[in-house]
Amino acid sequence: MEVAIIILGLLLGTFTSCYVLDINLKTLIKFNKRLKIKCLIISIAMAIVSFFIYCQYGYSNHFIAVLLTSWFLISVSISDWKDKQIPVDILIITDVLGVILLFFNPNVELIHSMIGFFGVGGFVLLISIITRKAIGMGDAIVIGTIGLILGYKMALTVLVYSLVLVGLIGLVLMTIGKVNRKTQLPMVPFILTVFMVILII
């Protein structure tokens, strides 16, 4: 089973690389060596994450839910960092699978998922509108998706610590002159970082 999980992680990572980095077979074989390295790094990272989640939860419906969330966050983090946008296709796939998982994952109650998606996600969306996108609408959707799959408690925890982390990093970068007050840092990579730390501890 462990080998199968690692292979699954490699496949998910490869798919993410090709989709988010816009790699096709011709590009991968003929042109850019750097793309090959990026693709390899992402695939190996996804395999490691998949194996770690399996060690934490075993093969269960909750394992699938956490793996889906991890894959989603890794994918959108790369896209947010690279293009400052959330891939709509990956978002739709994740949300559809997340809804299906609601009926099979006993670790997350339906009401908690609804609160996570509409309550927490909607709250962040409202903040985005009020602050004129100081927090992006895409970030609100990402937080809502976490809430949908893993419940409102996880969504709230990730949101709070992500805001703290991005604030601290932003303050440090302003202090050393790398950014100014108008610079908008991509938030999803910080959401991913916080989520992974939560899984580890």
- Same domain? 50 vs 130: no
Residue 26 tokens, joined: 């011709």
Into how many domains does the chain fold? Answer: 2
* Domain final position from 59, 75, 100: 59
pLDDT value at residue 15: 85
Residue 185 inside a domain? The answer is yes
Higher pLDDT, 163 or 134: 163
* Domain final position from 25, 59, 93: 59
Residue 94 tokens, joined: 């994740």
Work out the average pLDDT over 22-30: 59
pLDDT tens digits, one per residue of 114-162: 999 999 999 999 988 887 766 778 889 999 999 999 999 999 999 999 9
Residue 17 inside a domain? The answer is yes
- Same domain? 145 vs 184: yes
pLDDT value at residue 142: 94
pLDDT value at residue 29: 58
Work out the average pLDDT over 161-183: 83
Q: Which domain holds residue 178?
A: 85-200
- Same domain? 49 vs 92: no
- Contact predicate 68/8, CB 8 Å: no
Residue 161 inside a domain? The answer is yes
- Same domain? 55 vs 90: no
Q: Where is mean pLDDT largest: 48-62, 164-178, 180-194?
A: 48-62
- Same domain? 101 vs 35: no
| 89: three-class secondary structure by DSSP | helix
Phi, psi of 138 (to 5 degrees): -60, -40
Residue 165 inside a domain? The answer is yes
Percent of the chain having pLDDT more than 90?
45
Average pLDDT along the chain: 87
Residue 77 inside a domain? The answer is no
- Contact predicate 116/146, CB 8 Å: yes
- Same domain? 175 vs 102: yes
| 26: three-class secondary structure by DSSP | helix
Name the band, by pLDDT with cuts 50, 70 and 90, for residue 173: confident
Place of tokens 């440090």: 172
DSSP 135: S
DSSP 105: -
Higher pLDDT, 109 or 175: 109
Q: How far apart are CA 124 and CA 141, in angstroms?
A: 8
pLDDT tens digits, one per residue of 29-79: 555 677 778 888 889 999 999 999 999 998 889 999 999 999 999 999 988
Helices (H), the chain: 2-20, 25-26, 33-57, 61-83, 88-102, 110-114, 121-130, 137-150, 152-175, 188-200
pLDDT value at residue 30: 58
- Same domain? 90 vs 48: no
Residue 71 inside a domain? The answer is no
- Reference 52, options 65, 41, 67, 38; nearest CA is 67
pLDDT value at residue 38: 80
> What's the per-residue H, E or C state across 176-190?
CCCCCCCCCCCCHHH
pTM of the model: 0.88
Residue 194 inside a domain? The answer is yes
Residue 90 inside a domain? The answer is yes
pLDDT value at residue 25: 56
Tell me how far apart the 2 most distant CA atoms of the chain are, in Å: 50
- Same domain? 97 vs 179: yes
- Same domain? 101 vs 30: no
Residue 60 tokens, joined: 């269960």
